[in-house]
Chain A
């Protein structure tokens, strides 16, 4: 086993990183190996921690071993409360990014986010421009920028600092989405089920059976 990689992957988990192919490719490949993952797990179990992966398998993160443990429950409730208070602007951004994608794809780990492409969309659509302006009124993405370019740049920088995106070039116009979105989708799935939202589609279900 690569002890150096073991140390790096474990430390990243303990630092609350979502390890994925985009952010930490070496650590991600290490944890994809079942034997290595077990080694990390055995180490974490000694400090009442575990490693979980997102539903799509694109990200690994730190979890509690025992959810019935009162301290774990309290911590999760507190963390969720804080996380939930910021979900709305992120979801609004997800819709905005989907509407600015040339193939209408929703954002997910590994997807390329192109600033100039987005800018092209908002220049052509007053509706998207309005949605962008609205987004920058939210506390999370608050920006005093006076034009679309400044607003988009501000949001992308914020998402980069929150590790939802990683910059692909020095000019900062191309980014790649990380598995933090995968975790957010898992939370959204939970919210949808908790609030009994119907997100199934008959046509799709039939197609899925093929």
Chain B
């Protein structure tokens, strides 16, 4: 039970001090600096054996158990900083191999096994790191940086990725196979790591990296071409915008540039040869498929006197009920000199139209009133500004007021 409680406490302290722990792991190569803010974290981590210290004067280091866990959970970060990680891991492997060889020389069998274990662990991490780095480039190749809308920024991101891939390739080229061979010597364990596992992973990584650089470069060329076209569009359009009467003209050129060498159509529609029996058959087939033509019957002309329209019956057009309601509302305001709400009028009269149409008709009719009537009333809009398009307003009601001098 005590073990369970200890473990739970350890995990809790990790959750409490995750900030300093991640900072130490990501930014200070596992060192927890002896600052005031880090004191609580240092105390808790030391207590749970999640950190260690050689000497009270020496800095506190995160334990290997913790860095391994962090290495797994910060995979995405490691992908972006793979170059640094690979370089670091290789130096750790070299140090472990030196320790292994030194321990073997001294006959310290147990220590040599510890160092060998460390070398293999880092070797494994190195291979994993190489695979992860390639995965990052593959991801960008397949996505085509489409998560960035702006073409210039996309090209910039592409360039950055090419730089990173090139830098990574440079790091890979620093791995010297002869040096690896020399380091492995005749030791069967080291030969397994340095002459088999690591070179195999390096070779696979190098091949994929070269392919990735090629693809990224192709993509950049495409972006560059699109950027150029985009600038061309803006520049030529600028000519028209800066000079309203601008038209492209080649009258000043003595020689016509090849790019404008385009000939007019000279294809003349072919005509059937009615003397050719083959054509005759084809024509007969076409004629056969034509729809029958109904002869048009000519209408007999009858002379009739022209009707005088003034003598016709007068027809009265029904008055639009919405328009009538507007005129009534306006008259009411003029007669009573009191303000009324257009929306209330709409509700009371139960007009058969949407409120938008009612408001629009009201505004149009008021603006179309004879000058003397127009000046007698003014409109107040109850409105609010649209949250997205700041120039637009939502009108919820219009108050029709008797005019007090200013017409709105």
Contact = CB atoms under 8 A, between A and B. Distances in A.
A98 B230 contact: yes
Interface residues of B, number: 50
B368 interface: no
B259 interface: yes
Interface string B370-399: 000000000000000000010100000000
B263 A62 contact: yes
Contacts of A73: 256
B151 interface: yes
Interface stretch (B7-15, B220-228, B309-317): B220-228
Given A190-B259, A199-B228, A201-B227, A79 B235 contact: no
Interface string B235-250: 1111110000001111
Given A73-B256, A75-B263, A108-B229, 19 more contacts: A16-B264, A67-B255, A67-B256, A76-B260, A80-B260, A87-B248, A95-B233, A102-B146, A102-B149, A188-B233, A190-B257, A194-B250, A198-B235, A199-B235, A201-B231, A207-B158, A208-B220, A208-B221, A210-B162
Contact of B151 (A105, A189, A199): A105
Contact of A190 (B224, B231, B234, B260): B260
B259 A187 contact: yes
A63 interface: yes
Contacts of B235: 192, 197-199
A61 to B, nearest CB: 6
Interface string A176-205: 000000010111111110110111010110
Contact of A14 (B239, B251, B266): B266
B240 A88 contact: yes
Interface of A: 11, 14-16, 47, 49, 52, 55, 61-64, 67, 72-73, 75-77, 79-81, 84-85, 87-88, 91-92, 94-95, 98, 102-106, 108, 126, 183, 185-192, 194-195, 197-199, 201, 203-204, 207-208, 210
B232 interface: yes
Q: Tell me whether chain B's interface is mostly helix, strand or loop, or mixed.
A: helix
A98 B233 contact: yes
Contacts, number: 145
Interface of B: 146, 149-152, 154-156, 158-159, 162, 217, 220-221, 224, 226-240, 247-251, 255-267, 389, 391
Contact of B155 (A49, A55, A94, A204): A204
A207 B226 CA distance: 13
A110 B152 CA distance: 22
24 contacts: A14-B267, A15-B265, A49-B263, A62-B265, A63-B263, A67-B255, A67-B258, A80-B260, A84-B247, A91-B233, A91-B240, A102-B146, A102-B149, A103-B146, A106-B229, A126-B389, A190-B257, A190-B259, A192-B236, A194-B250, A199-B228, A203-B155, A208-B220, A208-B221
Contacts of A92: 237
